[in-house]
Amino acid sequence: MSSRPVIFWFKRDLRVADNPALARVAEVSGGHVLPLFIFEPEYWRLPDTSARQFAFLTETLADLRADLAAQGQPLVLRTGDAVDVLDALVRETGARALFSSEETGNLWTYARDRRVAAWARGRGLAWTELPQAGVKRRLKSRDGWAAARDRFVRQPTVAAPALAPLSGIATGAMPDAASMGLPADPCPDRQPGGRQAALALLGGFLTERGRDYRRQMSTPVEGEWACSRLSPHLALGALSGREAAQATAARQREVRGTREGWAGSLSSFQSRLAWRDHFMQKLEDEPRIETDCLHPAYEGLRPRTPDATRLSAWERAETGIPFVDACMRYLHHTGWLNFRMRSMLVAVASYHLWLDWRATGPHLARLFTDYEPGIHWSQMQMQSGTTGMNTVRIYNPVKQGLDQDPTGVFTRRWVPELAAVPDAHLQSPWTWEGAGSVLDRAYPAPVVDVAEAARHARDAVWGVRRGDAFRATAARIVEKHASRKDGGDRAPRRRRGPGRAKASPDQLSLDL
């Protein structure tokens, strides 16, 4: 090889446009970049990974490979442990440095990066990680964070760099899910991956689908169309958050002063892009959010060994609570669900079924094609009431069904066993006089008494919040993690009575 290349290790930011780290590497190396992606079998054996995520990834990598080839050098694919792969490539190519983007992943990726850093130091190889988003590594204080994030988003996007072709190195083959040890994972209506799909979604959302986004995002019936559906593409970085925010800003300028009804929806979408970075910053600042209750007073509140019958019923969408089961079945089938319904699934599991968030979180992570650890684990805790700084929100799944599926079309589609149940009793079939002909025959009876379970949970969760020691710890959590903008996380207030506390807006903020 005529020139010693620099390795650019793609992990999540799988694009060539607006990729500041890739542009920087191309600049310092004169374009002699070896673009690398590593399929790590150990990662795909984790409890929060799935074949549907893997399939979306490979489609995204196919687009990335083509885009890199158009810039001069195709993507190099390797399979194995990251340290082993990198060491072999350095020996083979004489690579003089390693670059990558900063990644806010799960604890496994954090530990893997520490191993890679130790290997690079031992080899005397410089490894440079560069920021790609509004998330800041080694942040000392949240003061000024939002303004810094907004400044980053407003900076000009970065053009795709030209790369020099490398000779004598095999580009490698794309493995399949079975070779990673992933079990079959049918997801018939999964979104397709790839940057072209992401750009098409963004354009369609900003010019057509997003007009009623603010009004329709909460319902699974309309949210499927009205939400941007960009979340899996943002998770893998086929599209950057900055690209999405700047395209939205351009559209905001176009509709300003018109009566087309876009202004509120576009403003809401911008807010949700900002909240996305906000939640990822939490995990960046405190990786233990994946494993430990943010407020330690909640450790031991729910059994760490879950009730197997209740957990299985929730996972299989056989809780006997129609709207809950409909949402879970829809998620199984599509890999996506609007945010309010995600929150409801977690809340019902946590409060009504009294399951620990660490037992239910991996199942949802596997089902979400758009699994983003920073958002997922922060939200698992928030919707389970274990942060100590967010208002406890116990969703009434019967009321949610009536509010979000008033005609019953969504519930009847995904729970056809209830065809004989009249509309007035669809969301609570146990109240129908003919319930005996359906429940525990075509469809299970509810695994818990919905109202009684909510009362028990409310008393238990709020009971933990009493006392000065709880509030002192909560204040420290707020200082470290709360947004400094109005409408962000707030310290817990004294309870005035059941159901009277107003939920923090950020609990309903991530419908991308």
Structure confidence by residue, pLDDT tens digits, 96-120: 999 999 999 999 999 999 999 999 9
Q: pLDDT for 382-437, tens place per residue?
A: 999 999 998 889 999 999 999 999 999 999 999 999 999 999 999 999 999 999 99
Question: In this structure, are 253 and 380 located in the same domain?
Answer: no
The total domain count for the chain is 3
CATH number of the domain bearing residue 342: 1.10.579.10
Which residue segment(s) compose the domain that 247 sits in? 195-283
What's residue 466's pLDDT? 85
- 195 versus 259: the higher-pLDDT residue is 195
Q: Is the pLDDT of residue 270 over 80?
A: yes
Confidence class for position 446, pLDDT limits 50, 70, 90: very high
Question: In this structure, are 300 and 383 located in the same domain?
Answer: yes
pLDDT exceeding 70 applies to what percent of the chain? 94
Alpha carbon 70 to chain centroid, angstroms:
30
In single-letter form, the type of residue at position 13 comes to D
Within-domain flag for 505? no
Question: In this structure, are 275 and 300 located in the same domain?
Answer: no
Residue located via tokens 């929806």: 265
Within-domain flag for 145? no
What's residue 391's pLDDT? 85
Confidence class for position 484, pLDDT limits 50, 70, 90: confident
What's residue 485's pLDDT? 64
Question: In this structure, are 72 and 25 located in the same domain?
Answer: yes
Q: Is the pLDDT of residue 512 over 60?
A: no
Question: In this structure, are 336 and 441 located in the same domain?
Answer: yes
Q: pLDDT for 152-198, tens place per residue?
A: 999 999 999 999 999 999 999 999 999 999 999 999 999 999 999 99
Question: In this structure, are 472 and 337 located in the same domain?
Answer: yes
What's residue 382's pLDDT? 96
Within-domain flag for 140? no
DSSP track, 467-480 = SHHHHHHHHHHHHH
Q: What rounded mean pLDDT belongs to the chain?
A: 93
Within-domain flag for 501? no
Question: In this structure, are 37 and 61 located in the same domain?
Answer: yes
Residues annotated within a binding site? 213, 269
Within-domain flag for 160? no
From 249, 283, 317, the end of a domain falls on 283
Residues annotated within a binding site for FAD? 213, 269
From 114, 132, 150, the end of a domain falls on 132
From 232, 256, 283, the end of a domain falls on 283
What's residue 498's pLDDT? 38
Our CA dihedral for 338, 343, 346, 348, rounded to 10 degrees, sits at -110
Confidence class for position 260, pLDDT limits 50, 70, 90: confident
Q: Element (H or E) spanning 7, and its range?
A: strand 6-10
Alpha-carbon distance of 245 to 263, in angstroms, equals 14
Cβ within 8 Å of residue 500, ≥6 positions away: none
Alpha-carbon distance of 291 to 247, in angstroms, equals 36
The alpha carbons of the chain give a radius of gyration, in whole angstroms, of 24
Q: Is the pLDDT of residue 298 over 70?
A: yes
- Mean pLDDT computed over 14-32: 96
Q: Give me 427's structure tokens.
A: 């969301």
Within-domain flag for 271? yes
Confidence class for position 503, pLDDT limits 50, 70, 90: very low
Within-domain flag for 512? no
Cβ within 8 Å of residue 426, ≥6 positions away: 322, 401, 408, 411, 412, 418
- Mean pLDDT computed over 464-483: 92
Alpha-carbon distance of 167 to 177, in angstroms, equals 29
Residue located via tokens 């018109």: 258
CATH number of the domain bearing residue 73: 3.40.50.620
CATH number of the domain bearing residue 261: 1.25.40.80
Question: In this structure, are 406 and 332 located in the same domain?
Answer: yes
- Beta pairing, strands 76-79 & 33-39: parallel
Question: In this structure, are 234 and 377 located in the same domain?
Answer: no
Question: In this structure, are 401 and 430 located in the same domain?
Answer: yes
Our CA dihedral for 190, 195, 199, 201, rounded to 10 degrees, sits at 10
Within-domain flag for 157? no
Question: In this structure, are 25 and 66 located in the same domain?
Answer: yes
Q: Is the pLDDT of residue 502 over 70?
A: no
Output the pTM of the full model: 0.93
Kindly tell me the sign of the dihedral angle through the C-alpha atoms of 312, 314, 317, 318.
Answer: positive
Q: Which of 140-149, 199-208, 486-495 has the highest average model confidence (pLDDT)?
A: 199-208
Question: In this structure, are 59 and 111 located in the same domain?
Answer: yes
Confidence class for position 506, pLDDT limits 50, 70, 90: very low
